[in-house]
């Protein structure tokens, strides 16, 4: 098997350890491609806030918050070695950041009634009159409390509900503390696809899906327009993660380190682990491009002239891509993977627009690891990219595709070939780049 890359944990201030109770689910769906025999794959994970009554001799496990609604099991027996990596079990659909901000007091947590007002759940013990009964959680990690993100309104926080709590989401599917069953099963199905079928893209596979049993967790009901939403089933995805590091993350993503926000800490961690920064960046570019160009790499020509391909629907590719200690990128949001169909011109434009834009943003974030490039001018950051990835950018995709970097002009030229049809785009940056959210203005300069 060769050398195994250790699970990579980059410490952050807003990282919390918490206790989750192991609860028997209604049903377990397993990935038949893996033969792991572990009780962790056959239980649901419910925290003290969401469990309906005080647990009596209920088995619990220590977990670490990594994301808005996912937890990583901290115990040593939750480490698995597969291929080149050591992985930790991560539970998607478990946890709610609200509980990380308050003390554990199971008596108080388990006597309240949850009431829906509009699209939020009122928690009575968070009213000002009850604040004296609670104190900040005494976390074993000894780290400091963080401020509420802007959507954590005082007195309100969603438990498992029939409404999506993610800002800007167009439909309900991602409540804190739960995952829609259909989406979880979609992730399990995608985990069974071969690497070749997914265009050589690395993934964070789902090992099992546990369907939550009604009554095992507190669930607020949403009444919208006088009609209660019925038959909404929730689950949790139990998946493998090689690290807690992503390309990009929002300020509310507890426990996740990211290239865009934590470059100095990540750089120090790499040096402490004896990892060459240049090798890390080379591995990152060579594997991240398979995430961003999944559509291009998996295209199949149909009899009618259109292409059928795999695509990531409703996914933030930058925040949903996990990076291991060697720089290899792994895609985690597997329920978003689906099949689509486009004509050759439309697929070419989509690849040049969405895929190439994400890829360029990932190059900017990777360049921050060079130290001096952080919050620098567009000219210096483009020069860093050009010098670091000179060889790999000349043939970024198949055919005659390439990227050309022009630091003094604050621009990047992308030339993409799709089976004889070509498009050229010029990406223009402002003189001073904001690496957290770079502004890229694309102009088509050639289309044949």
- Which position has the higher pLDDT, 284 or 397? 284
Element (DSSP H or E) covering residue 82: strand 79-82
CA distance 369 to 52: 46
CA distance 111 to 156: 17
Span 112-130, mean pLDDT? 30
Q: What is the band of 371 on the pLDDT scale with cuts at 50, 70, 90?
A: confident
pLDDT in tens, 6-29: 999 998 766 667 778 899 999 999
Report the pLDDT value the prediction gives residue 65, as an integer from 0 to 100: 79
Question: Residue 223 above 90 pLDDT?
Answer: no
pLDDT in tens, 28-81: 999 999 988 899 999 999 876 666 666 667 788 888 878 767 889 999 999 999
Contacts of 389-395 with C-beta under 8 Å, sequence gap 24+, read 389/281, 389/282, 389/285, 389/363, 392/282, 392/285, 392/286
Separation in Å, CA 275 to CA 255, 270, 304: 22, 5, 49
- Which position has the higher pLDDT, 161 or 129? 161
Question: Residue 410 above 90 pLDDT?
Answer: yes
Question: Residue 141 above 60 pLDDT?
Answer: no
Pinpoint the alpha helices (H) of 207-273. 263-272
- Which position has the higher pLDDT, 112 or 414? 414
Percent of the chain residues topping a pLDDT of 90: 49
Q: How many CB atoms lie within 10 A of CB 221?
A: 14
- Which position has the higher pLDDT, 162 or 134? 162
Separation in Å, CA 70 to CA 22, 306, 333, 407: 15, 38, 12, 40
Span 358-367, mean pLDDT? 92
For residues 380 and 388, the answer to whether their CB atoms sit within 8 Å is no
Report the pLDDT value the prediction gives residue 373, as an integer from 0 to 100: 54
Span 297-311, mean pLDDT? 96
Question: Residue 150 above 60 pLDDT?
Answer: no
Question: Residue 135 above 60 pLDDT?
Answer: no
For residues 206 and 187, the answer to whether their CB atoms sit within 8 Å is yes
Report the pLDDT value the prediction gives residue 55, as an integer from 0 to 100: 62
Mean pLDDT of the chain: 78
Kindly compute the dihedral angle of the four CA atoms of residues 208, 213, 219, 223, in this order, to the nearest 10 degrees.
Answer: 100
Span 172-197, mean pLDDT? 80
What radius of gyration do the chain's Cα atoms show? 23
Q: What is the band of 218 on the pLDDT scale with cuts at 50, 70, 90?
A: low
Q: What is the band of 118 on the pLDDT scale with cuts at 50, 70, 90?
A: very low
Span 350-374, mean pLDDT? 86
Q: What is the band of 372 on the pLDDT scale with cuts at 50, 70, 90?
A: low
Report the pLDDT value the prediction gives residue 16, as an integer from 0 to 100: 67
Structure tokens at 256: 């996740």
């Amino acid at each position: 098997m060769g050398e195994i890359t250790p699970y990579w944990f980059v410490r952050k201030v807003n990282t919390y350890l918490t206790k989750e109770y192991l609860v028997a689910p209604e049903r377990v769906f397993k990935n038949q491609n893996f033969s792991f025999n572990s009780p962790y794959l056959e239980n649901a994970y419910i925290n003290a806030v969401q469990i309906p009554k005080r647990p009596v001799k209920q088995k619990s496990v220590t977990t670490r918050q990594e994301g808005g609604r996912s937890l990583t099991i901290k115990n040593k027996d939750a480490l698995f070695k597969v291929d080149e990596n050591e992985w930790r079990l991560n539970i998607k659909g478990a946890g709610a950041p609200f509980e990380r901000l308050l003390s554990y007091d199971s008596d108080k947590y388990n006597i309240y009634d949850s009431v829906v007002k509009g699209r939020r759940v009122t928690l009575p013990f968070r009213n000002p009159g009850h604040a004296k009964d609670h104190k900040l959680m005494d976390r074993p990690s000894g780290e400091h409390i963080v401020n509420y993100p802007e959507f954590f309104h005082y007195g309100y926080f969603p438990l498992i509900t029939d409404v999506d709590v993610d800002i800007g989401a167009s439909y309900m599917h991602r409540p804190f503390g739960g995952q829609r069953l259909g989406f979880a099963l979609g992730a399990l199905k995608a985990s069974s696809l071969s690497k070749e079928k997914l265009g050589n893209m690395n993934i964070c596979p789902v090992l099992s899906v546990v369907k939550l049993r009604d009554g095992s967790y507190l669930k607020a009901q949403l009444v919208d327009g006088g009609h209660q939403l019925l038959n909404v089933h929730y689950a949790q995805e139990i998946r493998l993660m090689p690290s807690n590091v992503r390309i990009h993350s929002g300020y509310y993503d507890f426990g996740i380190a990211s290239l865009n926000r934590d470059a100095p800490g990540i750089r120090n961690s790499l040096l402490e682990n004896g990892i060459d920064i240049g090798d890390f960046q080379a591995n990152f570019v060579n594997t991240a491009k398979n995430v961003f160009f999944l559509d291009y790499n998996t295209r199949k020509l149909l009899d009618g002239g259109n292409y059928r391909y795999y695509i990531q629907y409703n996914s933030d590719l930058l925040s949903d891509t996990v990076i291991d200690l060697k720089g290899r990128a792994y895609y985690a949001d597997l329920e978003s993977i689906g099949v689509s169909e486009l004509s050759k011109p439309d697929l070419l434009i989509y690849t040049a627009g969405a895929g190439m834009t994400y890829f360029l943003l990932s190059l900017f974030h990777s360049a921050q690891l060079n130290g001096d490039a952080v919050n620098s001018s567009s000219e210096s950051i483009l020069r860093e990219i050009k010098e670091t990835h000179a060889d790999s950018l000349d043939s970024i995709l198949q055919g005659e595709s390439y990227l050309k970097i022009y630091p003094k002009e604050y621009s990047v030229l992308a030339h993409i070939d799709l089976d004889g049809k070509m498009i050229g785009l010029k990406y223009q940056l402002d003189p001073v780049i904001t690496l957290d959210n770079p502004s890229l203005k694309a102009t088509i300069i050639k289309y044949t």
